[in-house]
Amino acid sequence: MLSGELVISQAEHKSRIEKIRDLLKNSRCTALYLTNPTRILYATGFSHISTERPLALVIPQEDAIFMMGPHLEEDHAKQDCPLIEEFSSYPDYPGNTHPIRHFVDVLTRKGLAGSKIATDSVDGAAGGWGYRGPSLRDLLHQTKMVDGRDLVDNLRWVKSRQEILLLKESARWAEKAHDLLMESIAPGAHDAIIGLKASYEALTRMMKKLGARYQQLKWGLSPVVVGCRGQVGPGSAVPHAVFSKRRIRKGDVLVTEAGVEVGGYTSELERTVMVGKAGPKEKRYFETMLKAQNAALRAFRPGIACSRVDAAARRPVEAAGLAGGLRHHVGHGLGIDGHEPPWLDPGETTVMRTGMVFSCEPGLYIPGLGGFRHSDTITVTENGLDFITEYPRSLEKLTV
């Protein structure tokens, strides 16, 4: 496991920045201007809450890395991220002078105005939370601003050893959290309440075990979330349900999920759980879903298009005459974000490479009855795949 704190090392962040600078040189851009909090976190390790207040990280081709943002983030950046060498602050948004005009002044002083700048936002801000303001591109008339999202995003597709280890640590605690949830599932219980109890107990155990090594980097009330998220009984037929008004009943199909953030990375673990003995229909759908997942898992290997995994999962579903129950593609990339490219989708031509990480989660959804979906996190290896999440998948083990 990683030594010290459970986060990406400063050395790896420096390596990422050097790769970004090489890409800037190749594209003849003087700097990369980032506003997206995930891209900033990936590049530097700095985690912040993105609000209406604009904040931007600038990685010049050669000079010091600097950040522009609200005064309330200045101490935060200086304390938590030594890779950010300078911080230029403004009082607050919207201010007597709009923050973007402050940013223009800084970029001009730095000699970047009038050059070619790669960016993930020509407006100069991440937006959201009611933000309004002038566009950075309109204010920097002589500056050529080009799409720079891929300068960071393409680096994220193949995971490093450190990233894989953080995902494995996440999975280890997700599995323990799911065990606690299984102990609490019972007729008459509400899924939101048992989920909160299991999350609390799992978090308590994790903090006791990991102690000062653990650091939460994503904004949330808890880095441990386990439960059903409303996927209870007939409600489990809605893949992205939010809340269930009804309590759990005997005979219900549940779709459970467990996610634990470790150093900014969260694995994905989901299971179909039966409350009481499964009937013939439930068995048929469960077994077909499991065949689809097994077929998808056998298809993973470097050198094949992502679409082939999706196709492999669909074949047993179609053979069983249940293709009408499909509602989504088979999976997606995973990393700092819960959903990342590439996608396991019929339209995805990206070729798999060793070190890519995916969820594998073919699902069947039967209105009025329930949903049937397991999700596992896997990493592509030279010989096929390795499981990052390792949890029982059989109906026998998942019957309460």
Domain CATH number, residue 244: 3.90.230.10
Domain extent at residue 78: 10-155
Alpha-carbon span 69 to 55, nearest angstrom = 4
CA-nearest of 334, 169, 379, 338 to 262 is 169
User: At which of 155, 177, 195 does a domain end?
Assistant: 155
Contact 316, 295 (CB under 8 A): yes
| DSSP code per residue over 94-125 | S-SS-HHHHHHHHHHHTT-TTSEEEES-TTSS
Judge whether 3 lies within some domain: no
User: Looking at the domain assignment, is residue 397 inside a domain?
Assistant: no
The closest alpha carbon to 369, from 249, 243, 257, belongs to: 249
Q: Strands 253-262 and 269-274, how do they pair?
A: antiparallel
pTM, to two decimals: 0.95
Residue 173 and residue 59 share a domain? no
| Residue 1 pLDDT | 45
Q: Which residues of the chain have pLDDT under 70?
A: 1-3
Our count of domains for the chain comes to 2
**pLDDT, position 2:** 54
5 inside domain = no
Residues 151 and 209 in one domain: no
Q: Are residues 129 and 173 in the same domain?
A: no
Helix (H, G, I), strand (E, B) or coil at 269: strand
Looking at 128, 155, 182, which one is the last position of a domain?
Answer: 155
